[in-house]
Amino acid sequence: MLNGKTAFVTGGTGAVGRAIVCSLAAAGASVGFSYRSHGDKAREIENQLADSPGAVKGYELDVLDARGAREVCKAFESELGPIDILINNAGISQVMPFALIEEQDWDSVMDVNVKGMFLTTKAFLRGMIARKSGNIINMGSLAGSRVLEVPVHYATSKSAVIGFTLSLAGELARYNIRVNAVAPGMLDGGVGMNVPEKQRREYCNYCTQGRPGRPEEAAALVTFLASDASSYINAQVINVDGGI
């Protein structure tokens, strides 16, 4: 499905990021992924996927480091080849009510989830534009478009992912670059690990599938969107929520 393609995934050592890296690699892509502090997990992923059809390599990167992002892009394209697919997956959350959110908390979540996406995209986009080819997939959340009991700053940041996706898709269409977003509901793993048990039960009660999703299920959709099989899908935000 992705033989001969290259992909870069931010936040590749988390539950969702790792599932995406594994899914893309299984589909035949050469995959680079970023990590900020979990070098041991990055090496573990590299070893796990050593026999994949394409190369798999981790790159240390703070997504808020613009210069670092440019350097990682240069290293990636030198080692794995020109970038075909960018997955903006890195993100954080904090479980706290609005009244307890301080300015620093707000800035931290918005910086990683929104500014980090902007800086990484800016770094990798230059090559896509030059080649008039590319595919960008942003990881959003159901919290960005539905009334859910989630932290306000997290929901706000994921709403921004939607605006970023739609606007960028319109601007980049002339360069044959597609931009879509995947918006998972509650997943076992990632930020879903911090959801209180009461909210997990309530979600499952309203979910037609009656359970949280798995990171691999979100990763499967990302891999489809990364492939040519989805060539007529652009400027879309696709929910993976079990039917809420």
| Residue 35 appears among annotated catalytic residues | no
Q: What is the pLDDT of residue 13?
A: 97
Out of 59, 154, 203, 206, the active site residue is 154
Q: What is the pLDDT of residue 36?
A: 95
Q: What is the pLDDT of residue 194?
A: 73
Coil, strand or helix at 100:
helix
How far apart (Å, rounded) are the C-alpha atoms in residues 178 and 17?
20
Q: What is the pLDDT of residue 71?
A: 98
215 occurs within a structural domain: yes
115 occurs within a structural domain: yes
49 occurs within a structural domain: yes
For residue 213, give the CATH number of its domain: 3.40.50.720
Q: What is the number of domains present in the chain?
A: 1
End-to-end Cα, the chain, rounded Å: 30
14 occurs within a structural domain: yes
Neighbours of 127 (CB within 10 A): 17
Spell out the residues 6+ positions from residue 193 whose beta carbon is closer than 8 angstroms to its own.
15
**112: containing domain:** 6-240
Q: What is the pLDDT of residue 139?
A: 98
Lookup: tokens for 161: 């992912």
1 occurs within a structural domain: no
Q: Report, as ranges of residue numbers, the positions in the chain whose pLDDT lies below 50.
A: none
Q: What is the pLDDT of residue 222?
A: 98
| 8 Å CB contact between 206 and 244 | yes
How far apart (Å, rounded) are the C-alpha atoms in residues 13 and 2?
21
Q: What is the pLDDT of residue 199?
A: 85
Q: What is the pLDDT of residue 172?
A: 98
57 occurs within a structural domain: yes
From the number of C-beta atoms within 10 Å of its C-beta (0-12, 13-18, 19+), residue 152 rates as middle
219 occurs within a structural domain: yes
Condensed to tens digits (0 to 9), the pLDDT of residues 21-48 reads 999 999 999 999 999 999 999 999 999 9
| 8 Å CB contact between 178 and 224 | no
| H or E segment to which residue 124 belongs | helix 116-131
69 occurs within a structural domain: yes
Q: How far is CA 80 from CA 4, 31, 137, in A?
A: 10, 8, 19
